[in-house]
């Protein structure tokens, strides 16, 4: 019984983790059809921002929930103005340029913070289920993911901003017809996407030590979650995260975490082959 | 792609011969360890340049076939000893894997971006798997996969049929150069054949080729396999150069590097990416001597700048410049001629 509870908790945590690290990428991909290969590095930078702020004596929750998104959002804004805006409509070139950006950021962080792992202790103590020790902080991650996803859903569905954002998903003309400059909207979207990546990095920072190359651990998972999810930002991300999170943890419990990850990646290959439009291209078509 | 990007003119044999002589004479003036590695990287760049530049297929995971070539050689040579069969296997296994993955993608009509993601995922799976294979449970015949530490001390290449005569040093350099030149000539031959022309047609307009009756997925799968075999050859040569294979041959860094060589060198040329591989490879080795500036910092900056400023890469841009220069010379000459005729006419009138 205890064991079952733990498996369920771990699956929930994995789903929350995938949803969290994919949110920023999903917004940018869903609305602008831009694949940002530097996404993992944005998450990594969010982590570094939180750790640096926490080491400077700032409250860690404030650091991860406010400082990290602002810092990474600002970086995203600069990147959009300097690089991405010249390449809209050229999908492959954007992938290449952001891959270059990813290497550049790894090199920069390496230069500034050095190639050693930094970490910060989790601010919530563990608890026990029967004989098993569980990380209390995992519950916090689940809570943040739930709040983030429902917040995004509410914003997209019921606010003016959400309306414009959904217009942007339809295309540039729709944004123009609503009376906005599409370039401004794209700039803001990219910034918000980067800020969400920063938030994810900040929230995950206490659970994983950080290296300049840590972004690589996120990019593939975020990628397959978003691409497999398909065009609908919330429903796609959630359904793909649920599927991959469950598979990953079940296989992990049955064998090792490495095979969990391999099973997840292999499943992604099969799904992409069978449903090139993603899960929401096949099911839940009218969702957000 | 612009019209001028067809770029499969005749081989300029005089240049080719000059370069071959230069490469053959190199051991007289230099050590061969670094040039061998650079030639292997040039071969790796060639494999991607052929597929991406001419068939328009961008793989974000070409390191998969490079790594498969390296691992296949290492595992097979442990089990067989004599190196001829492992060498051949190191070409065949990556080609077969590439054919299977290629068929899966191309017959499924996966679009560019998804293709990029899928190839990337394949490389990641191999990387994760090889990293996890530490311990005795993971062995193929006599070869222990060794996880993160990789496979060291496998028998290196020998003269075919003579296991005791190992190939190393300058001799190995010549073997690599011969492989590189052979691969280059095969690539040129492919491009000059009807098969190559069809590939270029597919790159230019896939739908039109489809409607003309060509079996587009079959062509794409075939070139994917050929490119995979070439990458496998590069991987096999790399394994023999390093005398160890580790999961880092499947890393994202390896994949990024070959991609950068090709795009910097230029799409739609073979020689451009090979030169870029040698140049950027040398830069990487130089940067390895110091610790202030990281290699990935420089590579990343180069990739961003090239995509933004010269998205066609150096070689085609250089050719376009030269053509424009030549044309401006012709114009100037023509203008001068007209002026002269004009002056002569005026004088005659007087």
Reported ipTM: 0.84
Residues of B within an 8 Å Cβ radius of A: 58, 60, 104-105, 108-114, 116-118, 120-122, 124-125, 128-129, 131-132, 252, 256, 259-260, 263, 292-304, 307-308, 311
Q: What is the pLDDT of residue A287?
A: 64
In angstroms, the CA B305 to CA B302 distance is 5
pLDDT at B198: 92
Cβ(B235)–Cβ(B63) under 8 Å?
Answer: no
Could you tell me if residue A247 is inside a domain? no
In this predicted model, which residue has the larger pLDDT, B88 or A170? B88
Q: Does A227 touch chain B (CB under 8 A)?
A: yes
Altogether, the residues listed in chain B come to a count of 350
Residue A127 β-bridge partners: A134
Q: Nearest CB to A107: which of B120, B259, B296?
A: B296
- Cβ separation of A96 and B116 shorter than 8 Å? no
Task: Please report the pLDDT score of residue B81 as a whole number.
Answer: 77
Residues of chain B contacting A262 with CB distance shorter than 8 Å? 125, 128-129
Identify the band that residue A285 occupies on the pLDDT scale cut at 50, 70 and 90: low
Q: Is the pLDDT of residue A288 over 70?
A: no
Average the pLDDT over B42-62 and give the result: 91
Residue corresponding to tokens 């991959």: A244
What is the predicted pLDDT for the residue at B214?
92
Domain count, chain A: 1
Q: State the smallest CA–CA distance between residue A53 and chain B in angstroms.
A: 25
The Cα–Cα gap between B121 and A227 comes to 12
Instruction: Summarize the confidence of residues A259-283 as an average pLDDT.
Output: 82
Give the C-alpha separation, A117 to A210, whole Å.
Answer: 5
> What is the rounded average pLDDT of the residues A147-164?
89
Q: Does A270 touch chain B (CB under 8 A)?
A: no
> Which strand (E) or helix (H) includes residue A127?
strand A127-129
How confident is the model over A7-37, as pLDDT tens digits?
A: 888 899 999 999 999 999 988 888 888 888 8
Average pLDDT over residues B272-301: 84
What does each C-alpha distance from A125 to A66, A133, A209, A230, B164 come to in angstroms? 22, 10, 17, 37, 63
Say whether pLDDT at B263 is over 50.
yes
Q: In chain A, count H helices and then E strands.
A: 13, 2
Across the interface, of B111, B125, B304, the residue whose CB is closest to A266 is: B125
A88: contact with B, CB 8 A cutoff: no
Is the domain B7-312 a CATH 3.10.450 member? no
Beta bridge partners of B162: B159
Hey, of B64, B137, B296, which one would you mutate to test binding to chain A, going by the most A CBs within 10 A of its CB? B296
By the 10 Å C-beta count (0-12 exposed, 13-18 middle, 19+ buried), A158 is classed as: exposed
pLDDT score at A48 = 92
Residue A183, pLDDT > 70, answer: yes
Q: Check CB contact under 8 Å for A276 and B260.
A: no
Range of the domain at A210: 16-214
| Least confident span in A120-129, A248-257, B175-184 | A120-129
Dihedral of CA B73/B77/B79/B80: which sign? positive
Is residue A244, in this structure, part of any structural domain at all? Answer: no
- Tokens 């400082």: give the residue: A67
Tokens of A109: 């962080």
Contact A271, A229 (CB under 8 A): no
A interface test, pick of B112, B113, B260 with most A CB neighbours within 10 Å = B113
A250-253 long-range Cβ contacts below 8 angstroms, 24+ apart = A250/A7, A250/A11, A252/A10, A253/A7, A253/A10
Cα of A46 to nearest chain B Cα, Å: 19
Tell me if A101 and B302 make a contact (CB, 8 A cut-off).
Answer: no
Q: What tokens appear for B297 in the block?
A: 């910092």
Per the model's pLDDT, the better-predicted residue between A89 and A262 turns out to be A262
Most confident of B101-115, B164-178, B185-199: B185-199
Residue B66 or A234, more confident? B66
Q: Is A100 on the interface with B (CB under 8 A)?
A: yes
The predicted pLDDT at position B2 comes to 37
Cβ distance B118 to A261 less than 8 Å, yes or no, reads no
The DSSP code sequence of B194-260 is HHHHHHHHHHH-HHHHHHTT--HHHHHHHHHHHHHHHHHHHHHHHHHHHTEE-GGGGSHHHHHHHHH
Residue A265: count of CB within 10 angstroms of its CB:
23
* Residue A105 belongs to a domain: yes
More confident residue, A100 or B83: A100
Contacts of B298 in chain A (CB under 8 A): 107
Largest Cα span, chain B: 102
Q: Which residues contact B134 (CB under 8 A, 6 or more apart)?
A: B145, B146, B147, B148, B149
Q: Among residues of chain B, what percentage have pLDDT more than 70?
A: 95
Q: What is the pLDDT of residue A57?
A: 85
Structure tokens at B184: 């280059």
Residue numbers in A near B302 (CB within 8 A):
100
Does A275 fall in a domain? no
Calpha distance B171→B162 (Å, rounded): 15
Q: What is the mean pLDDT of residues B269-292?
A: 86
Q: How far apart (Å, rounded) are the C-alpha atoms in residues B240 and B163?
A: 15
**Mean per-residue pLDDT, B163-182:** 84
| Arithmetic mean of pLDDT over chain B | 84
Asked whether the beta carbons of residue A104 and residue B308 sit closer than 8 angstroms, the reply is: no
The pLDDT mean for chain A works out to: 86
How much is the pLDDT for A10?
87
Chain A to chain B Cβ contacts (< 8 Å) = 117
Residue B150 in this model has a pLDDT that exceeds 90: no
Determine the pLDDT at residue B180: 93
Which value, in Å, is the radius of gyration of the alpha carbons in chain B?
23
Residue in A29, A35, A92, A98 to test binding to B, most B beta-carbons within 10 Å: A92
What secondary structure letter does DSSP report for A208? S
In chain A, pLDDT over 70 holds for what percent of residues?
98
pLDDT band at B4 (very low <50, low <70, confident <90, very high): very low
Q: Does any domain span residue A124?
A: yes
């Amino acid at each position: 019984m205890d064991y079952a509870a733990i498996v369920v908790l771990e699956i929930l945590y994995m789903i929350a983790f995938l949803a969290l690290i994919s949110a920023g990428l999903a917004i940018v991909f869903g609305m602008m059809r831009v694949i940002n290969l530097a996404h993992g590095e944005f998450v990594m930078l969010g982590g570094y921002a939180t750790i640096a702020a926490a080491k400077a004596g700032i409250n860690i929750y404030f650091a991860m929930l406010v400082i990290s998104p602002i810092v990474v959002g600002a970086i995203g804004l600069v990147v959009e103005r300097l690089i991405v805006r010249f390449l809209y409509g050229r999908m492959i070139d954007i992938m290449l340029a952001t891959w270059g950006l990813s290497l550049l950021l790894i090199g920069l962080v390496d230069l500034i913070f050095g190639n050693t792992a930094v970490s910060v202790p989790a601010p919530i103590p563990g608890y026990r289920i029967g004989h098993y020790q569980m990380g209390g902080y995992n519950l916090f991650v689940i809570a943040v993911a739930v709040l983030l996803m429902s917040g995004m859903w509410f914003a997209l569905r019921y606010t003016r901003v959400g309306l414009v954002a959904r217009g942007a998903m339809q295309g540039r003309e729709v944004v123009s017809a609503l009376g906005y400059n599409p370039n401004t909207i794209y700039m803001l979207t990219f910034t918000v996407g980067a800020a969400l990546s920063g938030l994810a990095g900040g929230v995950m920072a206490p659970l994983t030590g950080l290296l300049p190359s840590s972004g690589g651990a996120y990019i593939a998972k975020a990628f397959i979650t978003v691409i497999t999810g398909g065009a609908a930002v919330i429903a796609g991300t959630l359904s793909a995260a649920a599927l991959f999170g469950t598979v990953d943890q079940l296989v992990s419990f049955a064998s090792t975490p490495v095979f969990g990850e391999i099973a997840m990646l292999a499943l992604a290959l099969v799904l992409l082959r069978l449903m090139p439009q993603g899960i929401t291209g096949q099911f839940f078509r009218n969702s957000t | 792609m612009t019209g001028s990007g067809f770029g499969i003119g005749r081989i300029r044999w005089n240049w080719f011969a000059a370069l071959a002589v230069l490469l053959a004479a190199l051991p007289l003036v230099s050590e061969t360890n670094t040039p061998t590695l650079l030639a292997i990287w040039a071969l790796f760049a060639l494999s991607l340049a052929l597929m991406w530049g001419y068939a328009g297929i961008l793989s974000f995971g070409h390191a998969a076939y490079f790594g498969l070539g390296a691992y296949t050689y290492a595992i097979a040579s442990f089990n067989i000893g004599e190196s001829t069969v492992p060498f051949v296997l190191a070409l065949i296994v990556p080609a077969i894997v590439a054919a299977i993955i290629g068929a899966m993608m191309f017959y499924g009509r996966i679009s560019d971006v998804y293709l990029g993601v899928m190839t990337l995922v394949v490389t990641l799976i191999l990387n994760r798997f090889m990293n996890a294979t530490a311990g005795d449970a993971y062995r193929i015949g006599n070869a222990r996969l060794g996880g993160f530490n990789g496979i060291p001390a496998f028998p290196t290449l020998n003269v075919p049929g003579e296991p005791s005569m190992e190939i190393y040093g300058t001799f190995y350099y010549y073997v690599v150069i011969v492989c590189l030149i052979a691969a280059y000539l095969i690539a040129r031959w492919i491009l000059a054949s009807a098969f190559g022309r069809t590939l270029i047609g597919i790159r230019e307009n896939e739908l039109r080729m489809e409607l003309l009756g060509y079996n587009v997925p079959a062509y794409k799968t075939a070139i994917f396999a050929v490119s995979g075999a070439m990458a496998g050859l590069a991987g096999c040569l790399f394994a023999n150069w390093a005398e160890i294979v580790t999961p880092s041959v499947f890393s994202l860094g390896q994949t990024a590097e070959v991609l950068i060589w090709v795009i910097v060198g230029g799409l739609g040329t073979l020689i451009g990416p090979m030169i870029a591989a040698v140049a950027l490879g040398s830069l990487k080795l130089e940067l390895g001597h110091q610790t202030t500036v990281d290699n990935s910092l420089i590579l990343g900056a180069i990739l961003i700048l090239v995509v933004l400023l010269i998205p066609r890469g150096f070689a085609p841009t250089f050719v376009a410049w030269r053509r424009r220069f030549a044309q401006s010379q012709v114009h100037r000459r023509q203008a001068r001629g007209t002026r002269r005729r004009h002056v002569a006419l005026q004088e005659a009138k007087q």
